[in-house]
């Protein structure tokens, strides 16, 4: 089988690595992929958002199956377009991808179907949003741009001034373009955060092993929000009792709600959860695998990823084998200094011999004129490790990360430390 994977990050690299374990897989085309992914797949220089170019390419090259991972091509209807020309796909339709592409849609869905989430109000005008800030609400409060905003559309405002600034940026200065023309203002929730990725074919939901992301740029959860600086799996706060409750109160109700709305969701649904004193609540849905969650979840998957993805497409997930190893994983991201703001790139990447049970997943990399692998983005690569315990997985990921060097590098030194503390209790 020849498989098309759309996307260019560490997440896609991890997906490709897992798909390659299936003996039926012949060529994997990564579109556009990156210079590191080119070591394991054939990269095609088409942007993931150029749907008509993707369709043209697919018509000529006829892949047997396609996996669409990033949020924007999903929201733009990449799966709809490929299915329309007869290419079976893993991923939601544009209608189902709205669960991530519009926060207003997601919040209204949760309200309508009684799925636990933060209390919220939606605003379409700057004036009414501003008045709401002055109506005696409590701080901190959370301001969210409605649409996709490269993971930067959420502001936790400590006071009215910060909230007003966030509103001005989104609604008046249009820093997120049209994505900020509507905003959600919601209650600030507290508690440990958990990421749960789940396979679903709209009938059955099969959650994968849970994980913990580290979104802030600096140690001790300081600095700016990023796409994610590292992950550990499983998440120690996500006990069997919490998992059961999430299945009953959140996962199944969400799938049923999407069916009732005529938007059956097929693919990977990502539940961003906050375990509050009043129980688990949804912070956000993503219509796709998380990055860098995938880099710890898939290395623990013992079953065949391609078989699962095909079962999802055929609505036969209930019959699929989905097993995870009883082990732990950690992923440490090595980034360019300055990320998530300005940074320099183009520095050669030196890679020594990695310890066993360690893997590198490439993200922001490019090849220089002589074909050497260089830095080419904010999050350059992730080093993932699998071990018997969380402590060993964290130590091994850092040992692996020490085998990789480039100028201007930085990484967090405390990935997994919160999880390890929770395990000690």
Residue 293 binding target from ligand AMP, ligand GLY, none, CB below 5 to 8 Å by type: ligand GLY
By beta-carbon proximity to ligand AMP, the closer residue of 280 and 376 is 280
193: partner contacted, choices ligand GLY, ligand AMP, none (Cβ within 5-8 A by kind): ligand AMP
Site string for ligand GLY, 133-172 (x = CB under 6 A): ------------------x---------------------
Contact 80, 32 (CB under 8 A): no
Using the rule CB under 6 A, is 213 a contact of ligand GLY? yes
Q: Per-residue contact track with ligand GLY, 261 to 290, x per CB under 6 A?
A: -------------------------x---x
- Closer residue to ligand AMP (CB): 8 or 155: 155
Cβ 37 vs Cβ 10: under 8 Å: no
Sign of CA dihedral 169, 173, 175, 177: positive
Binder of residue 154, out of ligand AMP, ligand GLY, none (CB less than 5 to 8 A by kind): ligand AMP
Characterize the bridge pairing of strands 183-187 and 141-145.
antiparallel
Residues 254, 272 contacting (CB under 8 angstroms): no
Tell the smallest beta-carbon distance from residue 106 to ligand AMP (Å). Answer: 10
Closest CA to 48 of 71, 65, 28, 64: 71
The maximal CA–CA distance of the chain, rounded, in angstroms, is 62
Instruction: Choose among ligand GLY, ligand AMP, none what residue 373 binds, the Cβ cut-off being 5 to 8 Å by kind.
Output: none
- Whole-angstrom CA distances from 192 to 84, 143, 144, 152, 309 are 42, 20, 20, 21, 30
- Residue carrying the six token digits 């592409």: 101
Is residue 100 involved in binding ligand AMP (CB under 6 A)? Answer: no
- Please enumerate in sequence order all residues whose Cβ is within 8 A of that of 133, keeping only pairs 6 or more positions apart, or say none: 141, 160, 163, 164, 167, 185
Question: CA 13, 14, 18 angle in degrees (round to 5)?
Answer: 115
Would you say how long the chain is, in residues?
425
- Which parts of 138-177 interact with ligand AMP (CB under 6 A)? 142, 151, 154, 156
Least distance (Å) from ligand AMP to the CB of residue 279? 15
Token pair 């430390």 in the structure block, residue: 417
Q: Which residues in the 225-264 window bind ligand GLY by CB under 6 A?
A: 228
Q: How far is the CB of 247 from ligand AMP (least distance, A)?
A: 21
Q: Are strands 216-218 and 212-213 parallel, antiparallel or unpaired?
A: unpaired
Q: Select 18 or 281, whichever has its Cβ closest to ligand AMP.
A: 281
Site for ligand AMP, residues 172 to 201, rule: CB under 6 A: 186-189, 193
Q: Which of 272, 279, 338, 355 binds ligand AMP (CB under 6 A)?
A: 272
Closer of 145 and 171 to ligand GLY (Cβ): 145
Q: How far is the CB of 131 from ligand AMP (least distance, A)?
A: 21
Nearer to ligand GLY, 201 or 291 (CB): 291
Nearest CB to ligand AMP, comparing residues 87 and 212: 212
Q: How far is the CB of 273 from ligand AMP (least distance, A)?
A: 10
Q: Is residue 293 involved in binding ligand GLY (CB under 6 A)?
A: yes
Question: Of the two residues 146 and 284, which places its CB atom closer to ligand AMP in the complex?
Answer: 284
- Measured from the CB atom, the residue of 251 and 271 that comes closer to ligand AMP is 271
| Cβ-based nearer residue to ligand GLY, 12 or 304 | 12
Q: Which of left, alpha, beta for 253 (phi over 0: left; psi -120 to 50: alpha)? A: alpha
The alpha carbon dihedral of 300, 303, 307, 313 has a sign of negative
CB environment 78-93: b (16+ within 10 A), e (fewer): bbbbbbeeebebbbbb
Interacting residues with ligand AMP between 199 and 238 (CB under 6 A): 215, 225
Angle at the Cα of 285 from the Cα atoms of 281 and 291, rounded to 5 degrees: 115
Residues forming the site for ligand GLY (CB under 6 A)? 151, 213, 228, 286, 290-291, 293
């Amino acid at each position: 089988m020849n498989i098309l994977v759309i996307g260019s990050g560490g997440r896609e690299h991890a997906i490709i690595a897992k798909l390659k374990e299936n003996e039926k897989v012949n060529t994997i085309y990564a579109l556009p992929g990156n210079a590191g992914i080119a070591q394991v797949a054939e990269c095609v220089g088409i942007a993931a958002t150029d749907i008509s170019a993707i369709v043209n390419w697919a018509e000529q090259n006829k892949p047997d199956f396609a996996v669409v991972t990033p949020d924007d091509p999903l929201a733009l209807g990449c799966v709809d377009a490929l299915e329309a020309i007869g290419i079976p796909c893993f991923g939601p339709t544009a209608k189902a991808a709205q669960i991530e592409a519009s926060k207003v849609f997601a919040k209204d869905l949760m309200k309508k179907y009684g799925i636990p989430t933060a209390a919220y109000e939606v605003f379409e005008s700057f004036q009414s949003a501003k008045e709401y800030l002055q109506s005696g609400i409590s701080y901190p409060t959370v301001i969210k741009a409605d649409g996709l905003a490269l993971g930067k559309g959420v502001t936790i405002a400590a006071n009215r001034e910060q909230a007003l600034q966030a509103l001005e940026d989104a609604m008046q200065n249009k820093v997120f373009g049209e994505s900020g023309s509507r905003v959600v203002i919601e209650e600030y929730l507290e508690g440990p955060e958990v990421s749960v990725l789940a396979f679903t074919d709209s009938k059955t939901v099969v959650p994968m092993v849970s994980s913990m992301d580290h979104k802030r740029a600096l140690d001790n959860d300081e600095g700016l929000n990023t796409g994610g600086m590292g992950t550990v799996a499983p998440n120690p706060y996500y006990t069997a009792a919490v998992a059961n409750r999430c299945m009953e109160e959140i996962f199944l109700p969400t799938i049923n709600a999407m069916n009732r709305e005529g938007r059956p969701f097929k693919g990977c649904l990502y539940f961003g959860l906050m375990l509050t004193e009043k129980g688990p609540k949804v912070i956000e849905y993503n219509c796709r695998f998380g990055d860098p969650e995938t880099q710890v979840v898939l290395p623990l998957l013992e079953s065949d990823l391609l078989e699962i993805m095909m079962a999802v497409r055929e609505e036969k997930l209930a019959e699929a084998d989905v097993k995870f190893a009883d082990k732990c994983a950690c992923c440490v991201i090595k980034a360019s200094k300055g990320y998530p703001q300005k940074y320099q790139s183009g520095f050669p990447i030196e890679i020594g011999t990695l310890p066993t049970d360690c893997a590198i997943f490439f993200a922001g990399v490019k090849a220089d004129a002589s074909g050497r692998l260089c830095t080419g983005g904010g999050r350059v690569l992730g080093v993932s490790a699998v071990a018997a315990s969380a402590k060993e997985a964290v130590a091994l990921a850092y040992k692996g990360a020490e085998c990789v060097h480039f100028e201007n590098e930085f990484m967090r030194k405390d990935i997994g430390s919160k999880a390890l503390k929770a395990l000690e209790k």
